[in-house]
Structure 1
Amino acid sequence: MTSSRQAYPSDVSDDEWVRGAPYLTLLREDAGQRESSLREAFNGLRYVVKTGAPWRWMPHDLPPWEAVYQQAQRWLTAGCFEQLSDDLRALLRLASGRSPEPSAAILDSRTLRSTPESGERAGYDGAKRKKGSKVHLAVDTLGHLLALHVTPADADDRAQVGHLAQAVQATTGDSVDLGYVDQGYTGEKPAKAAREHGIELEVVKFPEAKRGFVLLPRRWVVERSFAWATRFRRLVKDYERYPSTLAELHMVAFVCLMLKQVARLTNG
């Protein structure tokens, strides 16, 4: 720890901070306008995302919520978490004996219920019977984040394929040539949208003799990634005023997950 306070379970560990600090240091540590340490600001951001606490309910032994919020906005505007996510993902892939950039991705979405903060932009997902927002996600075959964006819940998943495919290729340098999807993405329109960005869609279908729960090949990976996200209480519902904020906090959460995995590799 860099302070004398008692640690919170959400605090960044020493090993994680060593890996993440170079990406989050936008100014020198001795910059005159800095009143709180970067590490403590990151701890504050992690506390909010992990516990779901409102910004103004930041514990008093962390930096003032305004300072944490403003620093988080600087990091997000500068794309710090995107850069950190890309490098952590490559490192974890290399550690598992794979190439740094994936050749396959898995696409899916989940619907988050709206709250008073997000209700004005919410849509109704008839299939899930929820009013809220959809998080459209693309991960590699290890479940690590490649791309995501947020729409109202009534948005058609198939109409989002082109947007996701473009973002995936921008992130990976056009390395992905195969995308796994469920039957909700069936049809020529999503296939054509993905093909325009060099990705062939493969629909993973349920077996005809399905009985009870069936673990679908490849498809379970993205479901696990969504489950990882639900460990962060701020992401269980859509508490954000803007869809961009919801997407950005998902990015922060996945960075936290990957930092922990890399720290385990370092200590293992």
Structure 2
Amino acid sequence: MPRKPYPSDVSDEEWSLVVPYLTLMTEAAPQREHSLRELFNALRYVIRYGIAWRAMPNDFPPWSAVYQQSQRWLASGCFEALAQDLRALLRLASGRAEEPTAAIIDSRTLRSTPESGTRAGYDGAKRKRGSKVHMAVDTLGHLLALHVTPADVGDRAAVARLAADIQDATGDNVTLAYVDQGYTGEVAADAAAAEGIALHVVKLPEAKRGFVLLPRRWVVERSFAWATRCRRLVKDYERYATTLAGFHVIAFVGYMLKHAAQMV
């Protein structure tokens, strides 16, 4: 590598796992001008440190090349496929079945910015204007499904699509989903039941004082905390909701790659 490494750079072990998914064309393709690994490193740098595209360090390929290749990767769905395979690998390594039978569902509201303000909504409960990230993880905290809506879309309204995405990712293997009290009611229960999933509401204790670690529910909260380590995901800086969702998937892929590479 002709430059000094950044902490966000992919390791040799990680690259050996990820390169088959990112090679949309052969390395010898005549239109390729920049190293595929350097393009991926630059994308990870943007997400991890939250810089603008045009603020790309000069020792990376030009920002326009990184942006264009990133859009190709996002459009191809390669990161979703990689996330599914990594999740299965890590589950098998931990002694679990390849596909989970239970999931944890929750949402997180991100404050909008001038770039995302045109599609933002107001979340009255969080008192924020922005976008809402609806996410499902397995009991180890690995990503199952994720999509983005305006913040004024309620959690119950997002259950149908999220449940369908969960079953699509796991081959209709999930039968139970743990949720918080924002998912109570027949609307959410019926939407999940239509996909063969039963919702189990984990309630706060009546005599709550200070922080309370809720059974099962803490797993998805930890997963959201993993995402906030990436500064690009602290707010909604993206013009398109699909880009915000894709960057979340890449962030979780990075986390799973780190653990999978330790087994190589």
* Coarse TM-score class (shorter-chain normalised): over 0.9
2:218 paired with 1:220: yes
TM-score scaled by length of structure 1 = 0.97
**2:151 counterpart residue number:** 153
* Residue pairs, 1:76-115, within 5 angstroms: 76-115=74-113
Residue 6 of structure 1 aligns to which amino acid in structure 2?
K
Query: What CA deviation, in whole Å up to 9, does each residue of 1:160-190 have, x standing for no partner?
Result: 0011000010111101000000011011110
Deviates more, 1:70-79 or 1:99-108: 70-79
Matched residue SS, 2:105: strand
Q: Name the CA distance, whole Å, in 2 between partners of 1:134 and 1:166.
A: 18
**1:176 counterpart residue number:** 174
* Residue pairs, 1:115-154, within 5 angstroms: 115-154=113-152
Runs ≥4 residues deviating over 4 A: none
Residue 121 (structure 1) shift = 1.0
Residue 209 (structure 1) shift = 2.6
Q: Name the CA distance, whole Å, in 2 between partners of 1:71 and 1:190.
A: 38
Q: Name the CA distance, whole Å, in 1 between partners of 2:69 and 2:209.
A: 51
Identity of aligned residues (%): 72
Q: Name the CA distance, whole Å, in 2 between partners of 1:216 and 1:201.
A: 16
When the two chains are superposed, the root-mean-square deviation of aligned CA atoms in Å is 0.7
**2:41 counterpart residue number:** 43
Query: What CA deviation, in whole Å up to 9, does each residue of 1:44-68 have, x standing for no partner?
Result: 1001000101111111110111111
Matched residue SS, 1:112: strand
2:242 paired with 1:231: no
TM-score scaled by length of structure 2 = 0.99
Residue 30 (structure 1) shift = 1.2
Residue 219 (structure 1) shift = 0.1
Residue 108 (structure 1) shift = 0.3
Matched residue SS, 1:50: helix
**2:16 counterpart residue number:** 18
Query: What CA deviation, in whole Å up to 9, does each residue of 1:85-104 have, x standing for no partner?
Result: 00000000001100111100
Residue 73 (structure 1) shift = 1.1
Q: Which structure 1 segments of 5+ residues have no match?
A: none
Matched residue SS, 2:212: coil
Q: Name the CA distance, whole Å, in 1 between partners of 2:119 and 2:76.
A: 26
Q: Name the CA distance, whole Å, in 2 between partners of 1:257 and 1:188.
A: 36
